[in-house]
A and B are shown apart, each in its own frame.
Chain A
Amino acid sequence: MTRRLLRIYPGDRALLAAALALLAVGWGMALAWAPPDRLQGEVQRLMYVHVPAAWTAFALYGVGFLASVRVLWKRSVAADHLAHAAIEVGLLFTGLTLALGSLWGRAVWGVWWTWDPRLTTTAILFVLFAGYLALRRAIEDPERRARVAAAVALVGFGLVPVVHWSVVWWRSLHQGPTVLRLDGPTIAGPMLATLLVNVAAITLLAGWLVMRRMRAIRLEMRAENRRLRERLAYAAPSVRIAPRELRG
């Protein structure tokens, strides 16, 4: 049934096409339509790649958090794969956020890096989730790996609100929130529209990346199980193990 659904359901290709089309529109708006910033000038256009990368990373860590709750609660293998995929893609976008922020900082502040609360908490978030992926590689037993990784993901997600509110709680060089504010956005209309189109495009692209990564994880687990079965068959030829007992 699942195989039949996968064969007829062209969801991932449609999602990729939609994401790329929206990204083309978004980047067109960012580079040619949105007005330059009154203070920063043209370089402020980096916001249209920096902010969507940051928000998408936070959303992906949120997905990782929810999936990890399910792993601990229901021992769900599918949720473990989702958490793994979402956090790996989230790490890619966190890395992009840091790199683009550094570039923007060099242009506006004159430095590539400063130990500002927003930058520092984002760097800690990056290291924490890089640790999550390293931990997954270090633990061989799939059930233990899923439980330990889920616990790390729960702790890691706790840092996301700290990153967001860091510019409010502490004195920061980084600008404060201009969109996600309790009293409404303070950003100009065309800039907000351009930003939201780019956020939607990167979110769709991230969704596609998570789907593809999950597919790769499923294939990796099957290959791992097959290797394990072969090793067991070699070590104990008389023992027969059902594939479901080896499911990762």
Chain B
Amino acid sequence: MASWGYIAVGFGATAIAIGGYVARLECRIARLRGRRGAPEGDR
């Protein structure tokens, strides 16, 4: 049973780490695009 706890933490941590990085990246892109007022086609 304890094994599944480690597995849940491992897979969960992977999803959170990658998801967190994506969220940070997309926020940065949105912020920079907003600051520049870039046209839609330049994304």
Interface of A is mostly: helix
**A137 shortest CB reach to chain B, Å:** 15
Q: Which residues of B contact A96 (CB under 8 A)?
A: 13-14, 17-18
How many residue pairs at the A-B interface have CB separations less than 8 Å? 80
Q: Which residue in B18, B22, B36, B41 is a CB contact (below 8 Å) of A219?
A: B36
Q: Which residue in B7, B17, B26 is a CB contact (below 8 Å) of A46?
A: B7
Sorting the interface of chain A by its residue count into under 10, 10 to 19, 20 to 34 or 35 or more gives 35 or more
Stretch from A2-10, A180-188, A239-247 that touches the partner: A2-10
**A215–B35 contact, CB under 8 A?**
no
Q: Which residues of B contact A100 (CB under 8 A)?
A: 10, 13-14
**B28–A216 contact, CB under 8 A?**
yes
Sorting the interface of chain B by its residue count into under 10, 10 to 19, 20 to 34 or 35 or more gives 20 to 34
**A212–B6 contact, CB under 8 A?**
no
**A49–B11 contact, CB under 8 A?**
yes
Q: A99-B13, A212-B26 are in contact. Are A107 and B36 (CB under 8 A)?
A: no
**B4–A42 contact, CB under 8 A?**
yes
Q: Which A residues contact B (CB, under 8 angstroms)?
A: 3-4, 6-7, 27, 31, 41-43, 45-46, 49-50, 53, 89, 92, 95-96, 99-100, 103-104, 106-107, 205, 209, 212-213, 215-216, 219-220, 222-223, 226
Q: Which B residues contact A (CB, under 8 angstroms)?
A: 2-4, 6-7, 9-11, 13-14, 17-18, 21-22, 25-26, 28-29, 32-33, 35-36, 38-43
